[in-house]
Structure 1
Amino acid sequence: MKKAIRGARIFDGETILDGRALVFSTAGIEAIVSNRHIPGECETIAADGKLIAPGLVDLQVNGGGGLLFNNAPTVDGLRTICAAQVRSGVTALLPTLITDGPDVVRTAIEAGKAAFSEGVPGYLGLHLEGPHLSLARKGTHDPALIRPMTKEDCDYLVDNAGLFGIGLLTVAPENVTRQQVARLKQAGYIVSLGHTDTSAAVAREYRLAGASTATHLFNAMSPLGHREPGVVGAVLADGGFSAGLIADGFHVDPVAMGIALRAKAGPGKIFLVSDAMSVTGTDLQSFELNGRTIYRKDGRLTLADGTLAGADTDLLSCVRNVRDMAGLSLEEALRMASLYPARAVGALSKGRLTPGADADFILLDNNLALSASFIAGENVLASD
């Protein structure tokens, strides 16, 4: 059955439209029409004073609802994480597995296959962040589990490409070869550089081999220097890279955010990620990762030594932050959390509200608080 939402402003992924109605069904977005041209067969929903925007797309979500994906690499764990994230407006996400042992990686991929085949609402695929990273830029990743990518590792990933949805892989040149990157890219993976201390020149070589994104810009990567531009410099200068940004106010200073946004060469874009952990949507004050305790305090998640360990935020909060901290327009802040990440991983039916796109969208009030989340034309927030 077709439905139409009227009375709201509509952000279609590019511009804000007034005096229009959004026509949709479970099959997707049908049209944006003037109120007087709403088809007669539509069920009409009033949303006066609200803003309709594309559902948010989060490419780095470690957990939610009290579960960390590493600790619950099951289809039920994925279902819980996706349901928790929809409460912050995320209608498509890549649950993220942090560096772990080979058995956990394979168990997670099997869970992803099940979630993909079952059509778990919000599930888009998996982000495997490690274990093939740099020890020098390990961040919170367990150094005992970081290792080079073997032929067996690469073969397994290639054999399972596409079976669990979109696959995003964070790797470091220190532990993955250019030939492996090219092979993974050819198999259909999105290859991202992260947790690496490599040079700008090597980062560019890996981009030419097939890497197309960078994981949490500025964090756990070689910095921009005036003689060695590092991975940060390579990502900003090379339009072939897109990059995730954690805009929680702790991982990246607002001044650095603004500089990066002004400096980024296109067509690649900087997009927002939450890097959310299991505490999202809960009152939990600590949790375990690879046998180590992560503490929650004053908006930060850290190991005992103060190392940041993911983020105590959600993607909608990051939208507000880049608008308020970096001075972006509301439209650009929303694009950074919907259109840009969708494009970065080739999910072209997401992040926009044009005919043929998925009917994944959110309703926001004037304070950008969430009123409703629709996935495939159904209000999943109301049914949660």
Structure 2
Amino acid sequence: MNTAAELIIVNAKVVTLDSTIESGFVKVSGGRIQSVGSMDSLSEADRSSAAELLDAKGSWLLPGFIDVHVHGGYGHDFMDGTQKSLEGITHFHSQNGTTTMLATTVTASREAIDRVLESVDAFTRREGGMPHAKLAGVHLEGPFISPKWPGAQNPSFIVPPQSQWMREWIAQYPDLVKMMTLAPETDGALELIRLLSEQGIVAACGHTDSTYAQIVEAVQHGLSHAVHTFNAMKGLHHREPGVVGAVLTQKSISAEIIADGHHVHPACIGLLLQLKAPDQLLLITDAMSAAGLGDGDYSLGGLDVVVKDGVARLKDGSSLAGSTLTMVDALRYVVRHTGTSVELASRLASLNPARLLGLEETTGSITAGKMADLLLISPELELQRVWVEGRLIR
């Protein structure tokens, strides 16, 4: 791992919380951002004292991406429950700009989910720290979802909400579970949503047949997020707005979007941008193990998946099965296909997910005092460099 004692990145287009510095610098020391400013405010003493001076030559300097919904990559799946897979996934996605992520499960047996929690807990506590992208915790997607909207989740393992399971997981692995996706209309869901909210865990709707009224009621109990909006949920109808209608109109619900050109039409991404941006929209990958690899046969949660032309579908053709997306691809897509500015796309990929997870005091933006999770991206939006806590990892 490359750990420069002090690094100054100069001549960069620096995207900060409230502005873009057209010709700026960022000074990094001890893994944190020490100062940010315009080039004309950078002293000669700072220049000469830096252990490394990197000329960005006008490239964008953005905060590292935070992916709250990702299942795997480069042949590995979080459900494998092995340290090798966690290392492989975090390495692959770090090479594509993700500096923080949630290990996301699928609907599976209690034993399989226990194994993931145990492996992620051990990985986050490993001696010497995490070498690539940081795992901030676990996103439990299922198994408390609707059998009417399984998507690529294995229906054999769908069960009604079990609040006791969550109490046991919280007791055994405090602060490890950061998010849970469930169907709010199922028996016991409101009790579980209250528990999640009380424990500071994001309660998210997904794979759900809820009515508009049921989502509104769930919001009153603590529901605050929607996973892969438009996908695997009851759609919008003018007499029954459904889950989509509630997500679009309830200001307290933040929304994820898979911006790959396959899951959601760009016009619908534009609708989300109008209604949920700048603060309540997040880019995610929902990437599966095939991300970074070619077309072929794969598996997701015990279901057979075929990837053709980069699109992952269940072998029976019934559903999309996650994606092969990376966060830098998602940023490029929304910029190029929806007319979104780089600054706003960066916010959707970094600051908003940081806020969702309560990490905004330490990461998610280029601000003095925060961790130096940084990306250098060319004017053509090609990823050039990646730093995690000041360590150059690409």
Corresponding residue SS for 1:368: coil
1:52 to 61, 71, 89: 61
* 2:20 match: 16
1:82-93 matched pairs, under 5 angstroms: 82-93=90-101
User: By how many angstroms is 1:16 displaced?
Assistant: 1.7
SS in 1 for 2:118: helix
- Hey, what does 2:102 align to over in structure 1? 94
8 Å contact kept, 2:25–2:38: yes
Alignment correspondent of 1:361 = 374
Q: Is the 8 A contact 1:81 1:95 kept in 2?
A: no
User: What amino acid does structure 2 have at the position aligned with 1:29?
Assistant: I
The question of 1:173 aligning with 2:177 is answered: no
Distance 1:356 1:135 in 2: 46
Which of 311, 321, 333 aligns to 1:321? It is 333
Distance in 2 separating the partners of 1:6 and 1:272? 28
Q: Which residue of 2 aligns with 1:205?
A: 217
Partner of 2:236: 224
CA deviations on 1:268-289 (whole Å, 9 max, x unpaired) are 5111101111112223522122
Stretches of 4+ aligned residues off by more than 4 angstroms: none
- Amino acid corresponding to residue 34 of structure 2 in structure 1: E
Is the aligned partner of 1:2 residue 2:36? no
Deviation at 1:131, TM superposition (A): 0.5
Give the conservation status (yes or no) of the 8 Å contact 1:13–1:351.
no
Asked whether the 8 Å contact 1:161–1:187 carries over to 2, the reply is: no
Corresponding residue for residue 374 of structure 1 = 387
Counterpart amino acid of 1:233?
G
SS at match of 1:184: helix
2:159 is matched by which residue type in structure 1? R
Q: Describe the shift of the 1:148–1:74 C-alpha distance in structure 2 as closer, same or farther (beyond 3 A).
A: same
Show CA shifts across 1:152-195 (max 9, x none). Answer: 3132233145443x511111113342122111221221111110
Relative to structure 1, the CA distance from residue 204 to residue 26 in structure 2 (aligned partners, 3 Å threshold; closer, same or farther) is: farther
One of 263, 277, 287 as aligned partner of 2:288? 277
Shift of 1:75: 2.7
Q: Which amino acid aligns with 1:274?
A: T
Partner of 2:321: 309
Higher deviation after alignment, 243-252 or 289-298: 289-298
Contact 1:373 1:379 in 2 (8 A): yes
Q: Please give the secondary structure, in 2, of the residue aligned with 1:100.
A: coil
CA contact (8 A) 1:240 1:268 kept: no
Indicate conservation of the 8 Å contact 1:66/1:278, yes or no.
yes
Alignment partner of 2:88: what SS?
A: helix
Aligned length: 378
- Of the three residues 92, 110, 115, the one matched with 1:107 is 115
- C-alpha displacement of 1:335: 1.0
- Structure 2 CA distance for aligned equivalents of residues 191 and 75 of structure 1: 27
User: Compared with structure 1, are the counterparts of its residues 269 and 42 closer, same or farther at alpha carbon in structure 2 (3 Å cutoff)?
Assistant: same
Q: CA deviation at 1:231?
A: 1.1
Paired position in structure 1 for 2:43: 37
Q: AA paired with 1:352?
A: S
SS at match of 1:211: coil
Please name the residue that 1:136 is paired with.
Answer: 148
CA distance in 1, matches of 2:117, 2:295: 27
Structure 1 residues 74, 14: CA separation in 2 closer, same or farther (over 3 Å shift)? farther
Matched to 2:341, the amino acid is S
- Give distance in 2, aligned partners of 1:114 and 1:26: 25
Letter in 1 for 2:74: G
Note if contact 2:96-2:327 (Cα within 8 Å) is conserved in structure 1. Answer: yes
Preserved CA contact (<8 Å) 2:23 2:58? no
Give distance in 1, aligned partners of 2:379 and 2:24: 18
Q: 2:287, 2:322 within 8 Å by CA — same for their partners in 1?
A: yes
The range that moved more, 302-311 or 145-154, is: 145-154
Aligned partner of 1:61 in structure 2 is 70
The residue identity in structure 1 corresponding to 2:124 is F
Q: Give yes or no for contact 2:211–2:242 (8 Å, CA) kept in 1.
A: yes
Q: How far did residue 85 of structure 1 move?
A: 0.2
Question: Hey, what's the Cα distance between the residues in 2 that align with 1:298 and 1:318?
Answer: 17
Contact 2:81 2:116 (8 Å CA) reproduced: yes
Deviation at 1:69, TM superposition (A): 1.5
Q: Percent identity?
A: 32
Contact kept, 8 Å, 1:173 with 1:198, in 2: the verdict is yes
- Farther off after superposition, 117-126 or 297-306: 117-126
Say if 2:163 and 2:195, in contact at 8 Å, map to a contact too. no
Contact 1:133 1:195 in 2 (8 A): yes
Normalising by structure 1, we get a TM-score of: 0.94
Letter matched to residue 308 of structure 1: L
1:261 is matched with: 273
SS of the residue 1:18 aligns to: strand
Structure 1 residue runs of 5 or longer lacking an equivalent are: none
Letter paired with 1:37: S
Unaligned runs of 5+ in 2: none
